Amino acid sequence: MAHDLLLLAGDGIGPEVMGEVKKVIGWFNANGMDFAVEEDLVGGCAYDAHGQAVSDATMDKALRADAVLLGAVGGPKWDKVPYEVRPEAGLLRLRKDLELFANLRPAKCFDALADFSSLKRELIEGLDILIVRELTGGVYFGEPKEIRDLGNGQKRAIDTQVYDTYEIERIAAVAFDMARLRDNRVCSMEKRNVMRSGVLWNEVVTQVHQDRYGDVQLSHMLADAGGMQLVRAPKQFDVIVTDNLFGDMLSDVAAMLTGSLGMLPSASLGAPDAATGRRKALYEPVHGSAPDIAGQGKANPIACILSFAMALRYSFDAGEAADRLEKAVESVLAQGVRTGDLLGPNGGAAVSTAQMGDAIVAALGAN
């Protein structure tokens, strides 16, 4: 049976990088796999077409698909659109309505790129960490969330950080499960010294560990110290589990350690369906829409291609295909093929988005 894949390329460089993923999907379809691809709009382009950052019809398709692959949303063109329909609202609705509570953000340093990190080579060589970010709760979605007019010339802005036990339990379980497949270590990050939600987070993670994951090594860190340790000695971490907002920030820090934001994929997963065991899932690069280079054929498609590799692994049970794709990316980098973001201080000749995609497809066939 065909795997139903919904592609939402979105804005900025989204369509360019997604174009290269389509070539990769084409290669797998020509080599024994069966993906049925549908495409639709999300973000600013959806707002332009329907006045909404994601339409109900697109949401229906996303709910039915086996997996959704998203490019990027947003750009200066939509700076002035109403808050409720800004491009990011489309992405947030997808996460919330598909209940994609578990966001996996691996930060892996490719050998060929170790010199491009802002940290010294020895600090990041061989780096392989996984940030597990809670994605459907916390301050992103907590109510009230508003700007109140106090009637005295002042306004009051309110965002609410809120977590229930079950939300912390399920993200902690994902982190422990992931750790068992890796180096078996989890570091939980919160601000229990300042925030009640941090106190509960710490308690619940500790309890889940004690009840079900005693074999995994658990440590706790305050999130600010965690940020500091990530740039001081990032290789001390295996899996980091943290809330929605801290996860947003810490994953950007971790991403940059690896040398380029253009390399990093992510997966957002829901709970396994009771009947089928299948998880709803959305895969997307960690980078944004990069409006400054959009439409110029300069963007690095690797993060989006590696997001498809994560889809192969987590949605389609095709670990070997995922390995093959990741190896193809590695071998292309080892050959010295570089988009502009990967040139580093010594410069050199950059290939285009399409040339990078073609090189990866060629490497797929070769290995």
Per CB under 6 A, 159 contacts ligand IPM:
no
Q: Judged by CB under 6 A, which of 167, 190, 248, 341 binds ligand IPM?
A: 248
191 carries an active-site annotation: yes
Q: How far apart are CA 88 and CA 53, in angstroms?
A: 7
Helix (H, G, I), strand (E, B) or coil at 44: helix
Q: Establish if 134 lies at the interface with Mg ion (CB under 5 A).
A: no
Smallest gap from residue 88 Cβ to ligand IPM (A) = 4
Cis peptide before 144 (omega within 30 of 0): yes
Q: Which of 25, 46, 91, 205 binds ligand IPM (CB under 6 A)?
A: 91
Do 134 and 142 contact (CB within 8 A), yes or no? no
Which DSSP symbol is given to 141?
A: T
Count Cα atoms within 13 angstroms, Cβ side, for 8.
Answer: 30
- The yes or no reply on residue 243 touching Mg ion (CB under 5 A) is no
Instruction: Identify whether the C-beta of residue 190 lies closer than 8 Å to the C-beta of residue 197.
Output: yes
Nearer to Mg ion, 40 or 248 (CB): 248
Q: Binding Mg ion by CB under 5 A: which of 248, 284, 326, 341?
A: 248
Our finding on whether 250 is near ligand IPM (CB under 6 A) is no
Q: Which stretch binds ligand IPM (CB under 6 A): 17-25, 88-96, 118-126, 168-176?
A: 88-96
Residue 163, helix vs strand vs coil: coil
Long-range contacts formed by 190-196: CB under 8 A, 24+ apart: 190/220, 190/222, 190/223, 190/242, 190/243, 190/246, 191/222, 191/223, 191/224, 191/246, 192/222, 193/222, 195/161
H helices of 77-222, in order, are: 87-97, 121-124, 165-180, 196-212
x/- site string to Mg ion, residues 40 to 59, per CB under 5 A? --------------------
- The verdict on 284 binding Mg ion (CB under 5 A) reads no
Residue 341 as a binder of Mg ion (CB under 5 A): the answer is no
- Rounded to a whole number of angstroms, the CA Rg of the chain reads 20
Reply yes or no on whether 248 is catalytic: yes
Query: Per-residue contact track with Mg ion, 187 to 226, x per CB under 5 A?
Result: ----------------------------------------
- The binder of 88, among ligand IPM, Mg ion, none, by C-beta within 5 to 8 A per type, is ligand IPM
Q: Is 169 left (phi over 0), alpha (psi -120 to 50) or beta?
A: alpha
Structural contact between residues 239 and 219, judged by C-beta atoms closer than 8 angstroms: no
Catalytic residue, candidates 191, 238, 283, 298: 191
Residue, CB closest to Mg ion: 248
Burial of 243 (0-12, 13-18, 19+ CB in 10 A): buried
Q: Is 4 in the site for ligand IPM (CB under 6 A)?
A: no
Binding-site partner at residue 81 among Mg ion, ligand IPM, none, CB < 5 to 8 Å by type: none
Closest to ligand IPM by CB, 28 or 283: 283
> Catalytic site residue 140?
yes
Rounded to the nearest whole angstrom, what is the least distance from the CB of residue 266 to ligand IPM in the complex? 7
Tokens standing for residue 231: 């740039």
- Catalytic residue, chosen from 66, 238, 248, 341, is 248
Amino acid (1-letter code) at residue 209: H
Interaction of residue 11 with ligand IPM, rule CB under 6 A: no
Catalytic residue, from 140, 163, 213, 314: name it: 140
Residue type, 364: L
Binds ligand IPM by CB under 6 A, chosen from 38, 88, 128, 358:
88
Active-site residue among 177, 183, 252, 358? 252
Q: Mention every residue, 6+ apart, whose C-beta is less than 8 A from residue 204.
A: 165, 168, 169, 172
Residues that bind ligand IPM (CB under 6 A): 88, 91-92, 248
Residues that bind Mg ion (CB under 5 A): 248
Q: Catalytic positions, please? A: 140, 191, 224, 248, 252
